[in-house]
Amino acid sequence: MADYENLIIDRIGTDGRVGRITLNRPEKMNALSQELLFELNDALHDMEADHSIRVLILRGAGRTFSAGYDLTPSQGKGADGVVRSFKPTDEKGRRLMMSIRSGMQQITDIHMYFWNMAKITIAQVHGYAIAGGCELAMMADLVVAADDAQLGHPGLRGLGTSRTGVIWPLVMGMRKAKELYYTGENVTGTEAEEMGMINYAWPMDELEDRTLAFADRLAIMSADHLAILKVNMNRFYENMGIYSSVRTSTDLDAMGQFTEFSYQYQDHMREEGLKGALAWRDTPFKGTDTYKKK
């Protein structure tokens, strides 16, 4: 397989039948840059074509799975999403919704390929899987996490909507899906397991071994047989509208960049930088969860 700048690829499990991709930007909490995402797309295609790989694990290097999309404005990313060729502004600097939407759809295409590739996939989450990191993890067939991991989408607070995170209504009850969507709140791995967002939450020091044991058990059958089982399962969910729903959510995510709250966030980003903008966004939410059971 090819060497990648932002990924580590290896083979583990019985006879190397489990492939593993590690997001490798630990100094950036594995922020999903344009370069990382398109490398991931290439790696997924390579692994799908390898019949000896039966199950695929996706994890993050360092202290977290992924803290979301790369928000570094100087690199041309941020709330507009990561794009390969579309420019989000015109020659006068005015934001162009359809260009933003087109760039976002490019990334949605990568997420949807991960969803539908002919391999059983497991997202192994530790630390944070938030915003774009949560979106990516949710597109795996199965998700396991450290019990103290944090999963959620704080970007719903003024940065638009969640794209592939909107599969929550397919894996969780409506009430909790709406609560997380409307608050942008994170939940722990234990809470995520209880509400059906993930399959298992394990102690952090057991996560690596248990994930491999889980993957190795799934990998007992041949890759082609597992692929048929996956297609059969996915078709049920796709017939409930996952493709149209995710693509519509991507359109709404682009539109969400033009709301009053989003413009206020963007003003703080320009004037105070990322830390200042996040403080403006998140500080009003602190201490307001008194309605929860303690």
Write out the H or E segment, with its range, that includes residue 268.
Answer: helix 260-282
Please give the average per-residue pLDDT across 172-177, as a whole number. 91
DSSP state of 159: S
Whole-number Å distance between alpha carbons of 184 and 102: 25
pLDDT at 164: 62
Please give the average per-residue pLDDT across 276-287, as a whole number. 84
Higher-scoring residue by pLDDT: 285, 22: 22
Higher-scoring residue by pLDDT: 62, 171: 62
Q: Is the dihedral of CA 253, 257, 259, 260 positive or negative?
A: positive
Percentage of the chain surpassing pLDDT 90? Answer: 53
Percentage of the chain surpassing pLDDT 70? Answer: 91
CB atoms within 10 A of CB 212: 19
Please give the average per-residue pLDDT across 73-102, as a whole number. 62
Whole-number Å distance between alpha carbons of 188 and 285: 17
Structure tokens at 259: 């709301």
The answer to whether 189 and 154 have CB atoms below 8 angstroms apart is no
Q: Is the pLDDT of residue 75 over 50?
A: no
- Taking each helix axis as running N to C, give the angle between helix 97-116 and helix 242-255, from 0 to 180 degrees, rounded to the nearest 10: 150
Structure tokens at 1: 């397989």
pLDDT at 291: 67
State which amino acid sits at residue 137: A
| Dihedral angle, C-alpha 127, 128, 134, 136, nearest 10 ° | -60
Higher-scoring residue by pLDDT: 254, 80: 254
Q: Is the pLDDT of residue 78 over 60?
A: no
pLDDT tens, position by position, 1-31: 678 999 999 999 999 999 999 999 999 999 9
pLDDT at 81: 44
pLDDT band at 77 (very low <50, low <70, confident <90, very high): very low
Please give the average per-residue pLDDT across 204-229, as a whole number. 95
pLDDT tens, position by position, 99-155: 778 878 888 899 999 999 999 999 999 999 999 999 999 999 999 999 999 999 987
Of 51-55, 72-76, 143-147, the range with the lowest mean pLDDT is 72-76
Residue with tokens 């997202």: 123
- Taking each helix axis as running N to C, give the angle between helix 34-48 and helix 97-116, from 0 to 180 degrees, rounded to the nearest 10: 30
- Taking each helix axis as running N to C, give the angle between helix 242-255 and helix 223-239, from 0 to 180 degrees, rounded to the nearest 10: 60
Please give the average per-residue pLDDT across 178-184, as a whole number. 89
Domain parsing of the chain, residue ranges: 7-282
pLDDT tens, position by position, 257-266: 788 888 888 8
**Beta bridge pairs of residue 13:** none
State which amino acid sits at residue 106: Q
Answer yes or no: CATH 3.20.20.10 is held by domain 7-282: no
pLDDT at 116: 92
Residue with tokens 């990334």: 107
Whole-number Å distance between alpha carbons of 70 and 83: 11
